[in-house]
């Protein structure tokens, strides 16, 4: 699903590489936590998977494709098989819940009939049935994140990337979001989640990958958060 081969990435005008010689493999259907303090390289790791950045040396394979060799015009096709969720939700404030989810399908040219059918299904899945016509501003943080997850999942991606999805949420709401992500994982979707949330990592007992100053320092199945910040 994802393979990093000796990946090094240095941003322009920076001395220290953001990622240094990282190699690892994530299999189909896995649930992986990505932990590490700020500046450890988590975001770079995710940006490389999304091909927002390219490696300096080394190769990143996602869904069987060498992203260094993937031409620019094929990147959108690749991203359609990925779902992405962020800490700040990134919803469109002037569109309703249903419209926000439908937007993801509209802009990749999906037929109107398909959209009308899939959007209620996925909203039901994330537990937002009945709130289709609310505006994001009327929802709680947890509900907004559910909308974002619905939008990321509506295209049934093979891989879900979550960048601190619970970062803006209280612990109780976070648990609900983690249950949802776990459920999505059980449908066969690979989930890679960067987080600072110790409780969640310790409770879930999934594979943990820890980065420190750009190096891979720990890769543990059924791991715990494990470091103090």
Partner 1 sequence: MRAQFVLSEIGVGLRRNLTMTFAVVISVALSLALAGGALLANKQVDSMKGYWYDKVQVTIYMCNKGDAKSTPSCAKGAVTDDQKAQIKTDLEKLPIVEKVYYEDAEQAYKHYQEQFKSSPLASTITPDQMQENYRVKLKDPTKFTVVASAFQGRPGVQSVEDQRAVLKNLFSLLNGMTLAAYVVLAFMLTVAMLLIVNTVRVSAFSRRRETGIMRLVGASSFYIQMPFIMEAAFAGLVGAGLACGMLLGGRYFMIDSGLKLQEKIPLVSFLGWDSVVAVLPLVLLIGIVMPSIAAFIALRRYLKV
Binding residues for partner 1 restricted to 17-46, rule: CB under 8 A: none
C-beta of 81 vs 198, nearer to partner 1: 81
What residue spans of 81-111 are helical by DSSP H? 97-106
**How far apart are CB 148 and partner 1 at their closest, in Å?**
10
Q: Helix axis angle, 112-125 relative to 141-153, nearest 10°?
A: 130
Question: Do residues 30 and 207 lie in contact, with contact meaning Cβ atoms separated by under 8 Å?
Answer: yes
Q: Which of 73, 113, 130, 229 touches partner 1 (CB under 8 A)?
A: 73
Residue 107 interacts with partner 1 (CB under 8 A): yes or no: yes
**How far apart are CB 177 and partner 1 at their closest, in Å?**
19
Q: Which of 84, 87, 118, 144 touches partner 1 (CB under 8 A)?
A: 84
The secondary structure of residue 136, as a DSSP letter, is: G
With tokens 């790791």, the residue in question is 45
User: Of 63-71, 77-85, 182-190, 205-213, which part binds partner 1 (CB under 8 A)?
Assistant: 77-85
Residue 188 interacts with partner 1 (CB under 8 A): yes or no: no
Q: Which of 25, 106, 133, 182 touches partner 1 (CB under 8 A)?
A: 106
Give 176-183 contacts, CB < 8 A, sequence gap 24+: 176/142, 177/142, 177/145, 177/146, 177/149, 178/203, 178/204, 180/126, 180/127, 180/146, 180/149, 181/31, 181/149, 182/31, 183/125
C-beta of 53 vs 197, nearer to partner 1: 53
Q: Could you list the residues that contact partner 1 (CB under 8 A)?
A: 50, 72-73, 76-82, 84, 90, 92, 103-104, 106-109, 112, 151, 155
């Amino acid at each position: 699903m994802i393979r990093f081969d000796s990946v090094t990435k240095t941003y322009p005008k920076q001395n220290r590489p953001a990622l240094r010689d990282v190699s690892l493999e994530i299999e189909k259907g896995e649930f992986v936590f990505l932990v590490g303090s700020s500046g450890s390289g988590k975001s770079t790791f995710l940006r490389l998977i999304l091909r927002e950045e390219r490696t300096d040396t080394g190769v990143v394979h996602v869904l069987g494709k060498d992203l260094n060799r993937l031409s620019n015009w094929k990147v959108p096709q690749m991203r359609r098989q990925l779902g992405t969720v962020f800490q700040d939700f990134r919803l469109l404030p002037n569109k309703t819940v249903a419209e926000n989810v439908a937007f993801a399908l509209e802009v990749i040219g999906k037929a109107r009939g398909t959209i009308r059918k899939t959007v209620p299904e996925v909203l039901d899945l994330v537990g937002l049935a009945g709130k289709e016509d609310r505006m994001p501003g009327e929802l709680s943080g947890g509900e907004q994140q559910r909308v974002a997850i619905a939008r990321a999942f509506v295209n049934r991606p093979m891989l879900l990337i979550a960048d601190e999805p619970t970062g803006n949420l209280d612990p109780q709401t976070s648990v609900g979001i983690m249950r949802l992500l776990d459920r999505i994982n059980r449908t066969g979707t690979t989930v890679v989640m960067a987080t600072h949330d110790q409780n969640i990592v310790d409770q879930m007992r999934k594979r943990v990958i820890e980065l420190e100053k750009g190096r891979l320092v720990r890769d543990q199945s059924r791991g715990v958060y494990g470091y103090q910040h």
